[in-house]
Structures are given as C-alpha cells and as structure tokens.
Amino acid sequence: MDSRFRGNDTPARRMRFHYYKDTDSLYIDLSEKTSVESREISPGVVLDFDAEGLLVGIDIDNASKVVNITRLEAEDLPLASVSVA
C-alpha cells in the first residue's frame, strides 16, 4: 500500500464526516493534522495531505450526486463509539 495512505499510531485519530448543504460538499476528515497539499484525483474528488505526505482528508464536490448522503453504513468496523451531531 502507498505509504501516504496508511494511518499513524496517534491515539487521537478520529474520522468525521462534514456535509455542507450550501455547496453540496462532503468532507471526510481523517486527522487533526493540517492539510498542506491537495490533489484532485478525479473531477470533484480532492485528497488532502499533511506535511509528512499522509492522507488527512477527502473532499467530494456535488456529493449528493455521487453518494447517498442520507444513509451511512459501516461494515466490520471495530467501532468504539458513534456520535451524531
């Protein structure tokens, strides 16, 4: 696997989904680290990387046209907790 996509061992890592209705954008936040580089990997899909080159976020434009934003499914994830804001 490409090392830019592996997680680190920081205990504070968490994943959060942010949907911005006004722009129909879904941001999947994978780290508390700041993004310093972004790469569009396909039209409307941008990967954000930190200073070490590790993936910290995924931005999906026109999200409601790409994925069903009304439903979230998790399969075989070792979830310790789930929260809805």
Residue-wise pLDDT for 17-75, tens only, equals 999 999 999 999 999 899 999 999 999 999 999 999 999 999 999 999 999 989 888 88
Instruction: Compute the chain's Rg from CA coordinates.
Output: 14
Please check whether residue 6 lies inside any domain of the structure: no
- % residues pLDDT > 70 (the chain): 85
Please check whether residue 7 lies inside any domain of the structure: no
Please check whether residue 26 lies inside any domain of the structure: yes
The contacts of residue 18 (CB under 8 Å, 6+ apart) are: 26, 27, 28, 29
pLDDT of residue 3: 47
Please check whether residue 59 lies inside any domain of the structure: yes
Please check whether residue 23 lies inside any domain of the structure: yes
Consecutive H or E run containing 63:
helix 63-66
Tokens of 53: 């080159």
d(CA 4, CA 54): 4
Residue 28, domain extent: 15-66
Please check whether residue 72 lies inside any domain of the structure: no
74 forms beta bridges with none
The structural domain count of the chain equals 1
